[in-house]
Chain A
């Protein structure tokens, strides 16, 4: 199987804090990879390095390589803006633009970059909302504010918004931690449908969720990658003792 995103000796810092320590990981194409681990272990920082969102934070710094289809996204020729259109991101808290309608939110990426063709925008809205399994719920209120719908719908709106710029990979940073079980189930179903077309990386605190949706699972601890492999193996027969302890809840 091809690898979509490969990191080589990736280190990430916040000022003096070394958050991600020398990580080598190969994210397989068209599959769901889950990253699990305790709070503050560097999971979110790791995926934020994969679309150059880490450097947005003040004092943040990255060393090492992140290859997207074999090209280093930290190379001097690489435009971070372009990287982010290829690798989309969904955040922990749903963050639709409150000043925009649902319609505007979906095509925010296109419109903010100057797209004015109504037909293309209309088509993108419909396609993206259908992909995000939200079309039937909002098609009669596309003019409503992006924050007027429920939290679960807002999160799917954010997924639709990320899909609208036609990325190749999608990074999700604990996308369900603010949602109820029903909304969570909907997002998980959605991820399952999306993996044919997209490479998906999901950070989660919820081990059941990793076990349910992910093909591969990575376990991180204190900024280091402890173990990475097929989900079934990680959960049923991990190589490392630390992984087993975390998964069985006998930690610390």
Chain B
């Protein structure tokens, strides 16, 4: 065998090995997805989606209040976590070339890898116990937002760093103030990355279970109040899966499927919205265009 053939063989082997690993990594993903769809789909019905959780395994039970609970938790957590996370990312990337910025970056990384149950404990100590709010929607949202912040901050920083420096300098050289440059040039250029980071964080917190145990707790009833305990899909899955009832087990799979569908819908929805927005700004440009040509 000559050198060329040997090299070719090594090349084929290496790419074959890489492909094999990809397939290996895909197996659990496909297995889980297929399992959830197959076991969860039979549970789905209008009643299942709109009735409340009771927990006895009687017919006519549903997960309606858990769906609402998860949506509310994610909404409130995003209200807190997205602005704080994005602004932190902006600070670290645009103004953080100092010791404080380095420290923030370091603690962000630490926080991002924190066990979520510890975050739950923190929110418990702070909101449930110290502020004396008790187990509540707001306590759960605070816990989830703390998980969200480092993810959003890191992805925002990354997205802003990806924007070429020439654009930043181009705007500054036009006499555009620093904060306007960040807001209108940097954020616009890096928005795809920032949105991806936000979606990643939302997907992550939508499935969080442990911190909710200590904060939002659980409720079998419909609840919308920020200061009351509230149901959530992950906790419904957790609770039902621990029960001996076949019906409740089935409901756990159904809830898992619904959770996956919610996250996917959110993901696709936001991406479509972003695309729509770019189209819209194109339409605005077209209007200027026609105005200018009319003047000629």
Q: Which residues of B contact A (CB under 8 A)?
A: 97, 164, 166-178, 180-181, 184-185, 188-189, 282, 285-286, 288-289, 291-293, 295-296
Interface residues on A, range: 35 or more
Q: Does A174 contact B (CB under 8 A)?
A: no
Contacts of B170 in A (CB 8 A): 91, 95-97, 158, 161
B66–chain A nearest beta-carbon distance, Å: 41
Pick out which of these stretches binds chain B: A5-13, A106-114, A210-218.
A106-114
Q: Does A122 contact B (CB under 8 A)?
A: yes
Contacts of B164 in A (CB 8 A): 95
Instruction: Given A122-B291, A143-B289, answer yes or no on A165-B188 (Cβ-Cβ < 8 Å).
Output: no
Please tell me if the beta carbons of A99 and B173 are within 8 angstroms of each other in the complex. no
Q: A85-B175, A91-B170, A109-B175 are in contact. List 4 more A-B contacts (CB 8 A).
A: A83-B175, A112-B174, A113-B176, A165-B175
Complex interface residues of chain A between 220 and 243 (CB less than 8 A to chain B): none
In the complex, A58 Cα to B164 Cα: how many Å? 15
Please tell me if the beta carbons of A91 and B175 are within 8 angstroms of each other in the complex. no
In the complex, A86 Cα to B173 Cα: how many Å? 10
Please tell me if the beta carbons of B173 and A143 are within 8 angstroms of each other in the complex. no
Contacts of A143 in B (CB 8 A): 282, 285-286, 288-289
Please tell me if the beta carbons of A103 and B181 are within 8 angstroms of each other in the complex. no
Complex interface residues of chain A between 37 and 95 (CB less than 8 A to chain B): 51, 53, 56, 58, 81-86, 88-89, 91, 93, 95
Please tell me if the beta carbons of A88 and B173 are within 8 angstroms of each other in the complex. yes
In the complex, A58 Cα to B170 Cα: how many Å? 16
Please tell me if the beta carbons of B188 and A84 are within 8 angstroms of each other in the complex. no
Please tell me if the beta carbons of B169 and A122 are within 8 angstroms of each other in the complex. no
Instruction: Given A91-B166, A122-B295, A142-B288, answer yes or no on A81-B173 (Cβ-Cβ < 8 Å).
Output: no
CB-nearest residue of chain B to A158: B170
Pick the contact of B285 from A91, A97, A103, A126 — CB < 8 Å?
A: A103
Contacts of A83 in B (CB 8 A): 175
CB-nearest residue of chain B to A171: B173
Q: Does A181 contact B (CB under 8 A)?
A: no
Please tell me if the beta carbons of B288 and A84 are within 8 angstroms of each other in the complex. no
Please tell me if the beta carbons of B174 and A95 are within 8 angstroms of each other in the complex. no
A66–chain B nearest beta-carbon distance, Å: 16
